[in-house]
């Protein structure tokens, strides 16, 4: 009994010590125990090593079946989290910003429409993914049992690839909002964001939510590659997953290219939309998914439009949207001490033409010294004539056929349109029996150190993955002077052999 009483008393003293000991004391005792354990001598290292080698590891390595199942579950769970984050972004930030006057209404409304469209798309996408995974997937013990799941997931990504183009609009809005936030010093706006993120957690900030769509699109190819690594190279699921990986890489490259374009030319698009809406009392939308092609070219009759004296080289760019064409002319001041990105570019001419108000004319080529210019004419409202030229015939055909298809598309969906495509059009500069004669006032300024025009960038507007023999292009914006195989896509019904847009 005395021993038992002594033991109980010791236990009570120990408990009392543990309750009354301060955190520094606990930390000190912990450190002492670690030092003692480190310094404890090992008398029989050989015996201990033999025992360790015979013991099984505590955590068993996952099998390929378990790893594949883990990747599938990761795709589903992260997709659910992503949809929830998009809904929180609207409810917590964008929705209240629409009711407040803290930022301009136009970019906030455009951001709301873009995020809302993405959320609706991802909800449908998530439902398709969930339907592709059966409830008994936990009972799968072999890789071949995942064949139907992997085929379904591949088909879902291939079918939704075209819809992911709407992310390019979000990328443009993302850049625009970031510029507004950088230049905004409104204390009310800061108080607005602090109220919705009182703990100042980065994961709950407005900027963190805005970057999630971009991160999600870049995550898809990585998850598909992980699934691909657990398939047989000759299996049908391997072929389908490879197509899905290539297609989603194209989508990611497409978004990157759209972001680059908007960083350099987005301000011109915004100015044109605002000016056109003010002048015509109607809304004009130049969405990045509707940008089909763009490139630099030579402007032959530029003196008819720009009267002021030009001291430096001019750069003329043509942007072909589904609903209109933009001509942009800039004067480039090349400073030898500065890099190309630091050259001063001054705007000289900006012009927008709705696609339903234009005509296009193919013309003969022009010989200038040792160079050959392939010319064509763009006519707006039957009275404004732009004589343009490219260095190669292929570039010229790309511009002409892309605009041609846009006119056909506009005519097909608008029976009241008065614009019709004319294969033969009489032009004062189109002479079959002789070379083109230019007016005396027309001057062609050619810089021998630079090509006459950059290659036309043609945007693949649809990711056609139905043909097993074809491969998705990478990158999507392709230079026509590349040695890579030209890629063609379907744009409208009954298209000709021309380069489609």
Residue pLDDT, tens place only, 349-390: 999 999 999 999 988 887 766 678 899 999 999 889 999 999
Tell me the mean pLDDT in the region 229-243: 95
What is the per-residue pLDDT across 114-159, written as a single tens digit (0 to 9) for each? 999 999 999 999 999 999 999 899 999 999 999 999 999 999 999 9
Lowest model confidence (mean pLDDT) among 40-49, 212-221, 226-235, 357-366: 40-49
243: tokens are 């197509």
CATH number, domain 64-269: 1.20.900.10
pLDDT of residue 89: 95
The more confidently predicted of residues 307 and 227 is 227
Tell me the mean pLDDT in the region 385-402: 92
Do 331 and 310 contact (CB within 8 A), yes or no?
Answer: yes
- The CATH-assigned architecture of domain 287-458 is Roll (2.30)
pLDDT of residue 257: 87
411: pLDDT strictly greater than 80: no
441 pLDDT band, cuts 50/70/90, is very low
Lowest model confidence (mean pLDDT) among 87-91, 115-119, 273-277: 273-277
Best CA proximity match to 256, nearest among 217, 310, 210: 217
pLDDT of residue 193: 92
Tell me the mean pLDDT in the region 427-451: 36
The more confidently predicted of residues 43 and 79 is 79
Tell me the mean pLDDT in the region 411-420: 46
Give the residue extent of every domain in the chain.
2-51, 64-269, 287-458
Residue 95 to residues 87, 211, 224, 287, Cα–Cα distance (Å):
10, 17, 34, 22
Residue 61 to residues 65, 67, 199, 368, Cα–Cα distance (Å):
11, 10, 39, 71
Share above pLDDT 90 across residues of the chain, in percent, rounded to a whole number:
41
What is the per-residue pLDDT across 158-204, written as a single tens digit (0 to 9) for each? 999 999 989 988 988 888 888 888 877 788 888 999 999 998 899 99
d(CA 92, CA 95): 7
pLDDT of residue 427: 35
HSE value, Cβ hemisphere, 13 Å, CA-based, for 333? 8
d(CA 219, CA 435): 56
pLDDT of residue 460: 52
The more confidently predicted of residues 58 and 279 is 279
Instruction: Report the Cα 62 to chain-centroid distance in Å.
Output: 35
The more confidently predicted of residues 220 and 493 is 220
412 pLDDT band, cuts 50/70/90, is low
Give the angle subtended at the CA of 103 by the CAs of 101 and 105, to the nearest 5°. 75
440: pLDDT strictly greater than 60: no
What is the per-residue pLDDT across 444-498, written as a single tens digit (0 to 9) for each? 333 433 333 345 666 655 555 444 433 333 333 333 333 333 333 223 223 333 3
Best CA proximity match to 219, nearest among 265, 176, 167: 167
Q: Number of helices (H) and strands (E), helices first, in the chain?
A: 12, 8
Q: Do domains 64-269 and 287-458 have the same CATH topology?
A: no
4 pLDDT band, cuts 50/70/90, is low
């Amino acid at each position: 009994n005395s021993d038992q009483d002594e033991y109980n008393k010791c236990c009570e003293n120990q408990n009392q010590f543990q309750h009354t000991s301060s955190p520094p004391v606990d930390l000190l005792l912990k450190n002492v125990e670690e030092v003692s354990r480190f310094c404890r001598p090992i008398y029989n290292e050989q015996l201990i090593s033999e025992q360790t080698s015979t013991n099984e590891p505590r955590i068993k390595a996952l099998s390929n079946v378990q790893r594949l199942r883990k990747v599938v579950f990761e795709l589903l769970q992260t997709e659910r989290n992503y949809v929830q984050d998009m809904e929180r972004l609207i409810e917590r930030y964008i929705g209240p910003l629409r009711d407040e006057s803290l930022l301009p209404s136009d970019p906030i409304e455009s951001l709301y429409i873009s995020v809302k469209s993405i959320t609706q798309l991802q909800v449908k996408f998530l439902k398709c993914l969930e339907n592709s995974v059966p409830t008994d997937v936990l009972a799968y013990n072999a890789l071949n049992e995942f064949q139907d799941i992997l085929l379904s997931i591949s088909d879902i990504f291939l079918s939704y690839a075209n819809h992911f183009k709407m992310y390019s609009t979000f990328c443009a809005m993302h850049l625009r909002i970031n510029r507004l936030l950088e230049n905004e010093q409104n204390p009310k706006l800061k108080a607005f964001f602090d109220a919705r993120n009182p703990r100042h957690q980065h994961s709950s900030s407005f900027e963190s939510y805005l970057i999630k769509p971009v991160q999600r699109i870049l995550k898809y190819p990585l998850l598909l590659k992980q699934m691909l690594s657990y398939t047989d190279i000759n299996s049908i699921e391997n072929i389908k997953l490879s197509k899905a990986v290539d297609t989603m890489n194209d989508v990611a490259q497409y978004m990157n290219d759209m972001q680059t374009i908007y960083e350099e030319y987005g301000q011109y698009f915004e100015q044109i939309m605002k000016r056109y809406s003010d002048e015509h009392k109607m809304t004009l939308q130049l969405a990045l998914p509707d940008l089909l092609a763009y490139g630099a070219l030579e402007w032959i009759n530029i003196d008819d439009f720009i009267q002021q004296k030009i001291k430096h080289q001019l750069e003329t760019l043509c942007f072909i949207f589904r609903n209109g064409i933009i001509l942009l002319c800039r004067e480039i001041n090349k400073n030898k001490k500065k890099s190309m990105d630091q050259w001063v570019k001054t705007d000289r001419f900006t012009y927008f033409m709705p696609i339903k108000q234009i005509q296009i004319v193919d013309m003969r080529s022009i010989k200038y010294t040792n160079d050959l210019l392939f010319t064509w004419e763009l006519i707006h409202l039957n009275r404004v004539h732009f004589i343009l030229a490219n260095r190669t015939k292929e570039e010229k055909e790309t511009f002409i056929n892309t605009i041609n298809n846009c006119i056909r598309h506009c005519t097909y969906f608008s029976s009241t349109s008065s614009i019709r495509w004319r294969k033969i059009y009489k032009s004062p500069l189109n002479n079959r029996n002789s070379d083109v004669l230019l007016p005396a006032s027309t001057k062609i300024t050619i810089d021998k150190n630079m090509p006459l025009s950059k290659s036309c960038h043609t945007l693949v507007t649809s990711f056609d993955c139905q043909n097993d023999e074809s491969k998705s292009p990478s990158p999507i914006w392709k230079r026509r002077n590349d040695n890579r195989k030209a890629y063609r896509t379907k744009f409208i019904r009954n298209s000709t052999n021309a380069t489609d847009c």
